[in-house]
């Protein structure tokens, strides 16, 4: 009897929550569009009020980290930007030098002034030199914003009663050619995943040798939006390193014996 009451209560609570869920949230999704091309001709205004095209940031063969937020968001967008800042602080790759960051507002009422204020606040937490040259905060008109949002599968909606935007929480990695390469969900992003995503999107033109080894051992899992260990690759790499290590260990005594056999009377012969 008690179990039945608990189950009925749970069912009633679930139904209540479903009924309480705003209908607008049914339209808020993030559909992966891997390898899709973003509209490089779309135009926006940067934090200094200059008119820019998206292609202006896809230069020098560098990947781009993209975040769609809005600058007057009371909660979620701030968490996304905090998560990005925390993640980027933990990796050695530098914005501007190794990759570009685009933060694009989905709110047409945002202006270069609100973009500049948000950039000042975010870079104040990040505190890396030359970051201002590599982290850009853009605003624009809705048709241009939607071109980018649709290209990456980012579905957001404006809720008039609350005067807020309902939107997904995620960041995306784009290739130097402007194609969608990777998605990372939520408001916290594993630094290793983001680093590997940027390195892979750049065709491994940035990063260190150790990162190339990690890329061999890990593969991107689109269903989870993260990198997971590719077991067979790791086993093969481990086996190769073991053989190499044994070769070094076994070779050392042989080289020592050879040197001794040539050493007679205080001289090599």
Could you give phi then psi for residue 164, rounded to 5 degrees? Answer: -135, 160
**What pLDDT does residue 128 have?**
83
> What average pLDDT does the chain have?
80
**What pLDDT does residue 210 have?**
44
The reply to whether 103 and 192 lie within a common domain is yes
**Residues sharing a CB contact under 8 Å with residue 160, sequence separation 6 or more, in sequence order:** none
Q: Tens digit of pLDDT for each residue in 73-117?
A: 999 999 999 999 999 999 989 999 999 999 999 999 999 999 999
What is the β-pairing status of strands 157-159 and 164-166? Answer: antiparallel
Q: How far is CA 256 from CA 52, 249, 251, in A?
A: 66, 12, 9
Average pLDDT on 11-17 reads 44
The reply to whether 154 and 195 lie within a common domain is yes
Q: Tens digit of pLDDT for each residue in 181-236?
A: 999 999 999 998 899 899 988 885 544 444 454 545 666 677 766 667 664 344 34
Assign residue 35 the CATH number of its domain: 3.40.30.10
Q: Which domain holds residue 257?
A: 231-261
Smallest Cα–Cα separation from 218: which of 186, 241, 194? 194
**Residues sharing a CB contact under 8 Å with residue 110, sequence separation 6 or more, in sequence order:** 70, 71, 72, 139
**What pLDDT does residue 216 have?**
52
Dist CA 116 CA 168 (whole Å): 23
Smallest Cα–Cα separation from 197: which of 173, 162, 217? 173
250 has pLDDT over 60: no
**Residues sharing a CB contact under 8 Å with residue 201, sequence separation 6 or more, in sequence order:** 63, 173, 174, 175, 176, 181, 182
Q: Tens digit of pLDDT for each residue in 42-60?
A: 999 999 999 999 999 999 9
For the chain, how big is the Rg over CA atoms in Å? 26
The reply to whether 162 and 36 lie within a common domain is yes
The pTM assigned to this predicted structure is 0.73
Q: Tens digit of pLDDT for each residue in 133-153?
A: 999 999 999 999 999 999 999
Measured CA angle at 29 (ends 82, 113), to 5 deg: 45
Domain membership flag for residue 14: no
Domain membership flag for residue 53: yes
Q: How many CB atoms lie within 10 A of CB 15?
A: 10
The reply to whether 250 and 121 lie within a common domain is no
Look-up of token digits 């896809």: 58
The reply to whether 100 and 180 lie within a common domain is yes
**What pLDDT does residue 156 have?**
97
Domain membership flag for residue 12: no
């Amino acid at each position: 009897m008690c179990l039945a009451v608990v189950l009925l209560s749970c069912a009633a609570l679930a139904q209540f929550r479903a009924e309480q869920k705003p209908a607008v949230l049914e339209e808020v999704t993030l559909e992966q569009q891997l390898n899709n091309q973003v509209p490089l001709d779309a135009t926006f205004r940067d934090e200094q009020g200059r008119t820019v095209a998206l292609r202006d940031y896809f230069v020098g063969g560098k990947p781009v980290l993209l975040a769609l937020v809005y600058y007057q968001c009371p909660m979620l967008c701030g968490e996304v930007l905090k998560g990005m800042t925390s993640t980027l602080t933990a990796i050695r790759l530098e914005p501007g030098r190794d990759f570009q960051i685009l933060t694009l507002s989905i709110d047409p009422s945002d202006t270069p002034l609100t973009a500049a204020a948000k950039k000042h606040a975010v870079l104040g937490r990040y505190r890396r030199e030359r970051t201002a040259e590599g982290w850009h905060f853009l605003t624009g008109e809705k048709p241009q914003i939607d071109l980018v949002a649709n290209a990456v599968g980012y579905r957001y909606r404006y809720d008039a009663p609350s005067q807020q935007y309902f939107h997904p929480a995620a960041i995306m990695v784009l290739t130097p050619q402007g194609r969608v390469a990777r998605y990372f969900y939520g408001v916290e992003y594993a630094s290793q995943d983001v680093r590997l995503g940027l390195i892979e999107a750049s065709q491994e033109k940035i990063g260190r040798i150790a990162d190339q080894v990690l890329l061999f051992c890990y593969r991107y899992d689109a269903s989870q939006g993260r990198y997971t260990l590719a077991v067979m690759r790791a086993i093969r790499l481990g086996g190769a390193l073991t053989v190499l290590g044994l070769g070094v260990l076994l070779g050392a005594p042989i080289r020592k014996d050879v040197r001794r056999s040539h050493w007679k009377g205080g001289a090599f012969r």
